[in-house]
Amino acid sequence: MATTTLRVKGMTCDGCVRSVTRALTAVEGVTNVDVSLEKGEAVVTHADSTPVTALRSAVEDAGYDVE
Ligand code: 9UX
């Protein structure tokens, strides 16, 4: 297991949090997602085999930017 923290830009309400959470949860190997609107961060627990680029792409495809 690995934990990756992404800095997510553009989340402005709880709906955004749900969207980002849903997008990250759908990535293969992801076992837990904790998104903070206040921090602008997503903490993702995932398999070692899950590429960080896949996490980043999922967030970007949902319409948000990753720093
Ligand atoms: Mo809230 Mo986020 O109505 O794109 S869902 S701003």
The domain ranges of the chain are 2-66
From ligand 1's centre to the CA of 49, what distance in Å? 31
Q: Which residues line ligand 1 (CB under 6 A)?
A: 12-13, 15-16
| Residues 6+ positions from 57 with CB-CB distance below 8 Å | none
| Ligand 1 atom with minimal separation from the 19 CA | 5
Stated pTM of the model: 0.96
pLDDT tens, position by position, 10-65: 999 999 999 999 999 999 999 999 999 999 999 999 999 999 999 999 999 999 99
pLDDT at res. 64: 98
Half-sphere exposure of 36 (CA within 13 A, CB side): 9
| Ligand 1 atom with minimal separation from the 12 CA | 6
Query: What is the third-level CATH fold of 2-66?
Result: Alpha-Beta Plaits (3.30.70)
Nearest CA to ligand 1 atom 5: 15
Judging by DSSP bridges, how do beta strands 2-9 and 41-46 pair with one another? antiparallel
pLDDT at res. 49: 98
